[in-house]
C-alpha cells in the first residue's frame, strides 16, 4: 500500500458540525456554522471555536465575549449548511430556517431550541492564528433536551442522531463499536 503526498492542511476529520449562536451589543442575533470546535480543558470546562475574521459573527463574538455552541442533529442538516454558506449581514438565518430561540441563562446570546445540547460560553482568550481566530471560552452553563433523559436522570446523547462533518460531507453518527475502556476490560 502506497501513500500520496498532500500539501500540509487540515485533514483531521470527522468534526462536529455545530451551530454557534451569538448576539451583538445591540441585541441582533446570528447563527454561524462551525466545524472547527473542540474541548480544550475539563477543569475548568473550556471549549474553543475558530472563526474566520471576515465572518459577520466574528465581530459579534469579539465585542460581547459570549456565544452558545448548539449541537446539531441529522434533522438540522439543511440549517447547518445554510448557516454556513449565507451571511447574517444579508439574511435572518433564524427566520429563513424557521429556527427558534430560547433565552440563555448566563449569556445574552440565544440558545437554539431545536438543538439537543446548548453550551453557554464566555470567551477567556482570543488567539489570532492567521485565517481564523480561535476563541477560547469557559463553559458557564449546559442545557440538554429532556426528551433524551431517562427515568434515572441519565442523558442519552447518542440517541439524538448527531451530525458530523467530514471533508465536505455531512454525516450522521451511527454504529457503536465499543465503550471507553472496553479494550482492557476483564471478561
- pLDDT digits 0-9 by tens, 106-142: 999 999 999 999 999 999 999 999 999 999 999 999 9
Instruction: Give me the mean pLDDT over the 146-164 stretch.
Output: 96
Of 38-42, 135-139, 168-172, 182-186, where does mean pLDDT reach its minimum? 182-186
Q: What is the pTM of this model?
A: 0.95
Instruction: Give me the mean pLDDT over the 83-112 stretch.
Output: 97
Angle at 113 between CA 108 and CA 116, to 5 degrees: 110
Give pLDDT, residue 7.
Answer: 87
User: Nine-digit cell at 70?
Assistant: 448548539
Largest CA distance in the chain: 59
Confidence of residue 175 (pLDDT cuts 50, 70, 90): confident
Confidence of residue 186 (pLDDT cuts 50, 70, 90): confident
For residues 15 and 35, the answer to whether their CB atoms sit within 8 Å is yes
Query: Which residue ranges form the domains of the chain, and what is each CATH number?
Result: 15-172 (2.30.110.10)
- pLDDT digits 0-9 by tens, 50-90: 999 999 999 999 999 999 999 999 999 999 999 999 999 99
How far is it, in rounded angstroms, from Cα 130 to Cα 4?
A: 27
Amino acid at each position: 500500500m502506497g501513500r500520496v503526498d498532500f500539501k500540509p492542511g487540515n485533514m483531521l476529520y470527522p468534526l462536529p458540525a455545530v451551530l454557534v449562536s451569538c448576539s451583538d451589543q445591540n441585541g441582533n442575533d446570528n447563527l454561524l456554522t462551525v466545524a472547527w470546535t473542540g474541548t480544550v480543558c475539563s477543569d475548568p470546562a473550556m471549549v474553543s471555536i475558530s472563526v474566520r475574521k471576515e465572518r459577520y459573527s466574528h465581530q459579534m463574538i469579539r465585542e460581547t465575549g459570549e456565544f452558545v455552541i448548539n449541537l446539531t442533529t441529522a434533522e438540522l442538516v439543511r440549517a447547518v449548511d445554510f448557516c454556513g454558506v449565507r451571511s447574517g449581514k444579508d439574511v435572518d438565518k433564524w427566520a429563513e430556517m424557521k429556527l427558534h430561540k430560547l433565552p440563555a441563562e448566563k449569556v445574552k446570546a440565544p440558545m437554539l431550541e431545536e438543538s439537543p445540547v446548548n453550551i453557554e460560553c464566555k470567551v477567556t482568550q482570543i488567539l489570532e492564528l492567521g485565517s481564523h481566530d480561535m476563541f477560547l471560552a469557559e463553559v458557564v452553563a449546559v442545557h440538554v433536551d429532556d426528551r433524551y433523559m431517562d427515568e434515572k436522570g441519565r442523558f442519552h446523547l447518542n440517541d439524538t442522531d448527531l451530525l458530523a462533518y467530514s471533508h465536505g460531507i455531512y454525516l450522521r453518527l451511527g454504529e457503536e463499536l465499543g465503550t471507553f475502556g472496553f479494550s482492557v476490560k476483564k471478561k
